[in-house]
Amino acid sequence: MMKIVFATTNKRKIEDAKKVIEHEGLNIEVLSLSDIGFNDEIEENGTTLEENSIIKAKVIKNFCNRNNINYTIISDDSGLFIKSLNNEPGIFTARYADEEIKKDSSLPKYECVNKVLRKLEGIDDRSAQYRCVITCITEDNEYMTVNGITNGDITEEIIDEISYPFFYLVFKPVGSNQTMNKFSDDELYDTYRFVALRSLLKRLSNKQEKKLRVE
Protein backbone atom coordinates (compact mmCIF):
# COMPACT_ATOMS: atom_id res chain seq x y z
CA MET A 1 0.00 0.00 0.00
CA MET A 2 1.25 3.45 -0.92
CA LYS A 3 1.66 5.83 2.03
CA ILE A 4 1.42 9.60 1.71
CA VAL A 5 1.84 12.36 4.27
CA PHE A 6 -0.75 15.12 4.10
CA ALA A 7 0.91 18.28 5.44
CA THR A 8 -1.89 19.15 7.83
CA THR A 9 -3.21 18.54 11.32
CA ASN A 10 -6.73 19.43 10.17
CA LYS A 11 -8.88 16.37 10.80
CA ARG A 12 -11.45 17.45 8.23
CA LYS A 13 -8.83 17.57 5.46
CA ILE A 14 -7.55 14.13 6.40
CA GLU A 15 -11.08 12.76 6.34
CA ASP A 16 -11.68 14.39 2.94
CA ALA A 17 -8.62 12.60 1.54
CA LYS A 18 -9.73 9.30 3.05
CA LYS A 19 -13.19 9.81 1.56
CA VAL A 20 -11.69 10.20 -1.91
CA ILE A 21 -9.50 7.13 -1.44
CA GLU A 22 -12.47 5.02 -0.37
CA HIS A 23 -14.79 6.40 -3.04
CA GLU A 24 -12.27 5.84 -5.86
CA GLY A 25 -11.03 2.50 -4.53
CA LEU A 26 -7.40 3.61 -4.27
CA ASN A 27 -4.69 1.61 -2.48
CA ILE A 28 -3.38 4.56 -0.46
CA GLU A 29 -2.95 5.27 3.24
CA VAL A 30 -2.97 8.91 4.39
CA LEU A 31 -0.86 10.04 7.35
CA SER A 32 -1.18 13.39 9.10
CA LEU A 33 1.64 15.52 10.49
CA SER A 34 0.80 14.18 13.94
CA ASP A 35 1.36 10.63 12.68
CA ILE A 36 4.96 11.44 11.68
CA GLY A 37 5.72 13.47 14.82
CA PHE A 38 5.86 16.91 13.21
CA ASN A 39 4.67 19.58 15.66
CA ASP A 40 6.33 22.80 14.48
CA GLU A 41 4.59 25.85 13.03
CA ILE A 42 5.06 26.40 9.30
CA GLU A 43 5.32 30.03 8.24
CA GLU A 44 3.14 30.43 5.16
CA ASN A 45 4.62 33.64 3.80
CA GLY A 46 3.89 33.08 0.12
CA THR A 47 1.91 35.52 -1.99
CA THR A 48 -0.17 32.88 -3.79
CA LEU A 49 -1.88 29.61 -2.98
CA GLU A 50 0.73 27.85 -5.10
CA GLU A 51 3.62 29.36 -3.15
CA ASN A 52 2.10 28.50 0.23
CA SER A 53 1.40 24.91 -0.77
CA ILE A 54 4.97 24.51 -2.03
CA ILE A 55 6.39 26.04 1.17
CA LYS A 56 4.51 23.51 3.31
CA ALA A 57 5.43 20.57 1.10
CA LYS A 58 9.14 21.45 1.16
CA VAL A 59 9.22 21.88 4.94
CA ILE A 60 7.64 18.48 5.48
CA LYS A 61 9.81 16.83 2.84
CA ASN A 62 12.94 18.15 4.58
CA PHE A 63 11.63 16.90 7.94
CA CYS A 64 10.97 13.46 6.44
CA ASN A 65 14.43 13.34 4.89
CA ARG A 66 16.05 14.13 8.24
CA ASN A 67 14.02 11.41 9.93
CA ASN A 68 14.36 8.71 7.25
CA ILE A 69 10.68 8.87 6.33
CA ASN A 70 10.44 8.10 2.63
CA TYR A 71 6.82 8.82 1.76
CA THR A 72 5.16 11.04 -0.82
CA ILE A 73 4.18 14.47 0.59
CA ILE A 74 1.08 16.43 -0.34
CA SER A 75 0.08 19.88 0.89
CA ASP A 76 -2.77 22.18 0.03
CA ASP A 77 -3.80 25.79 0.27
CA SER A 78 -7.19 27.17 -0.60
CA GLY A 79 -9.14 30.39 -0.52
CA LEU A 80 -12.09 32.45 -1.67
CA PHE A 81 -11.38 34.96 -4.44
CA ILE A 82 -13.97 37.70 -5.06
CA LYS A 83 -13.59 39.50 -8.37
CA SER A 84 -14.93 42.92 -7.31
CA LEU A 85 -12.71 42.99 -4.21
CA ASN A 86 -9.48 42.54 -6.18
CA ASN A 87 -9.62 38.82 -5.34
CA GLU A 88 -9.88 39.31 -1.58
CA PRO A 89 -9.81 37.51 0.78
CA GLY A 90 -7.63 35.17 -1.29
CA ILE A 91 -4.68 33.74 0.59
CA PHE A 92 -5.96 35.47 3.75
CA THR A 93 -9.31 33.64 3.71
CA ALA A 94 -8.65 31.79 6.97
CA ARG A 95 -7.63 34.97 8.81
CA TYR A 96 -9.47 37.71 6.95
CA ALA A 97 -10.86 39.49 10.04
CA ASP A 98 -8.29 38.44 12.63
CA GLU A 99 -7.02 41.98 13.19
CA GLU A 100 -10.52 43.36 13.70
CA ILE A 101 -11.38 40.64 16.20
CA LYS A 102 -8.13 41.25 18.10
CA LYS A 103 -9.06 44.91 18.47
CA ASP A 104 -12.69 44.21 19.40
CA SER A 105 -13.32 40.90 21.18
CA SER A 106 -17.09 41.44 20.97
CA LEU A 107 -17.05 40.78 17.24
CA PRO A 108 -18.38 37.35 16.17
CA LYS A 109 -16.10 34.62 14.88
CA TYR A 110 -17.75 35.01 11.47
CA GLU A 111 -16.77 38.70 11.24
CA CYS A 112 -14.85 37.75 8.09
CA VAL A 113 -18.20 37.24 6.35
CA ASN A 114 -19.61 40.51 7.64
CA LYS A 115 -16.48 42.27 6.38
CA VAL A 116 -16.96 40.90 2.88
CA LEU A 117 -20.67 41.76 2.81
CA ARG A 118 -19.94 45.34 3.88
CA LYS A 119 -17.33 45.73 1.14
CA LEU A 120 -19.74 44.38 -1.47
CA GLU A 121 -22.60 46.72 -0.57
CA GLY A 122 -23.90 48.41 -3.72
CA ILE A 123 -21.75 46.25 -6.03
CA ASP A 124 -23.58 44.31 -8.73
CA ASP A 125 -20.78 41.92 -9.71
CA ARG A 126 -20.61 39.45 -6.83
CA SER A 127 -18.86 36.67 -8.76
CA ALA A 128 -16.27 34.65 -6.86
CA GLN A 129 -14.20 31.48 -6.98
CA TYR A 130 -13.19 28.97 -4.38
CA ARG A 131 -9.76 27.67 -5.36
CA CYS A 132 -7.60 24.85 -4.03
CA VAL A 133 -4.00 24.12 -4.99
CA ILE A 134 -2.31 20.88 -3.97
CA THR A 135 1.44 20.39 -4.27
CA CYS A 136 2.95 16.93 -4.24
CA ILE A 137 6.56 15.85 -3.76
CA THR A 138 6.98 12.17 -4.51
CA GLU A 139 9.42 9.77 -2.92
CA ASP A 140 11.81 10.33 -5.83
CA ASN A 141 11.49 14.14 -5.58
CA GLU A 142 9.15 14.65 -8.51
CA TYR A 143 6.93 17.72 -8.12
CA MET A 144 3.27 17.78 -9.16
CA THR A 145 0.65 20.51 -8.74
CA VAL A 146 -3.10 20.24 -9.27
CA ASN A 147 -5.89 22.80 -9.01
CA GLY A 148 -9.55 22.68 -8.16
CA ILE A 149 -12.00 25.53 -8.74
CA THR A 150 -15.67 26.15 -7.94
CA ASN A 151 -17.24 29.23 -9.50
CA GLY A 152 -20.09 31.05 -7.82
CA ASP A 153 -21.47 34.27 -6.39
CA ILE A 154 -21.61 35.93 -2.99
CA THR A 155 -25.13 36.34 -1.59
CA GLU A 156 -26.28 39.65 -0.10
CA GLU A 157 -26.75 38.32 3.41
CA ILE A 158 -26.41 35.35 5.72
CA ILE A 159 -29.72 33.54 5.81
CA ASP A 160 -28.82 30.33 7.62
CA GLU A 161 -27.66 29.29 11.06
CA ILE A 162 -23.97 30.11 11.50
CA SER A 163 -21.65 27.22 10.72
CA TYR A 164 -18.06 26.62 9.65
CA PRO A 165 -16.52 27.15 7.10
CA PHE A 166 -18.03 30.61 7.48
CA PHE A 167 -17.70 31.76 3.87
CA TYR A 168 -19.75 28.76 2.73
CA LEU A 169 -22.70 30.65 4.27
CA VAL A 170 -22.64 33.25 1.49
CA PHE A 171 -21.07 31.34 -1.43
CA LYS A 172 -23.57 30.02 -3.95
CA PRO A 173 -21.96 27.86 -6.66
CA VAL A 174 -22.97 28.37 -10.27
CA GLY A 175 -25.96 26.21 -11.15
CA SER A 176 -27.04 25.78 -7.54
CA ASN A 177 -29.98 27.43 -5.77
CA GLN A 178 -28.36 27.11 -2.36
CA THR A 179 -25.21 28.19 -0.58
CA MET A 180 -22.41 25.66 -0.10
CA ASN A 181 -23.03 25.22 3.62
CA LYS A 182 -26.24 23.41 2.64
CA PHE A 183 -24.48 20.97 0.31
CA SER A 184 -24.72 17.25 0.98
CA ASP A 185 -21.58 15.13 1.11
CA ASP A 186 -22.26 14.00 -2.46
CA GLU A 187 -22.58 17.59 -3.66
CA LEU A 188 -19.41 18.65 -1.85
CA TYR A 189 -17.56 15.81 -3.57
CA ASP A 190 -17.72 17.80 -6.80
CA THR A 191 -16.39 21.05 -5.32
CA TYR A 192 -12.92 22.59 -5.49
CA ARG A 193 -11.01 20.71 -2.77
CA PHE A 194 -12.38 17.31 -3.71
CA VAL A 195 -11.74 17.98 -7.40
CA ALA A 196 -8.08 18.69 -6.64
CA LEU A 197 -7.70 15.77 -4.21
CA ARG A 198 -9.35 13.35 -6.61
CA SER A 199 -7.14 14.43 -9.49
CA LEU A 200 -3.91 14.15 -7.52
CA LEU A 201 -4.64 10.93 -5.63
CA LYS A 202 -5.71 9.13 -8.81
CA ARG A 203 -2.51 10.27 -10.55
CA LEU A 204 -0.42 9.01 -7.64
CA SER A 205 -2.25 5.70 -7.63
CA ASN A 206 -1.75 5.24 -11.38
CA LYS A 207 1.93 6.13 -11.04
CA GLN A 208 2.34 3.55 -8.27
CA GLU A 209 0.57 0.84 -10.28
CA LYS A 210 2.81 1.44 -13.31
CA LYS A 211 5.87 1.30 -11.08
CA LEU A 212 4.80 -2.02 -9.58
CA ARG A 213 4.13 -3.50 -13.03
CA VAL A 214 7.62 -2.54 -14.18
CA GLU A 215 9.22 -4.02 -11.09
Query: What pLDDT shows up at residue 209?
Result: 75
Question: Are the CB atoms for 6 and 17 separated by under 8 Å?
Answer: yes
77 included as an active-site residue: yes
- Given the residues 16, 76, 77, 153, the one annotated as active site: 77
- Separation CA 132–CA 15 (nearest Å): 16
Query: What pLDDT shows up at residue 192?
Result: 97
Query: What pLDDT shows up at residue 214?
Result: 63
Stated pTM of the model: 0.93
Query: What pLDDT shows up at residue 77?
Result: 96
Structural domains of the chain, with CATH: 2-214 (3.90.950.10)
Mean pLDDT by 10 residues, the chain (215 residues): 93 94 95 94 93 96 95 97 98 95 95 97 97 95 95 95 95 97 95 97 85 64
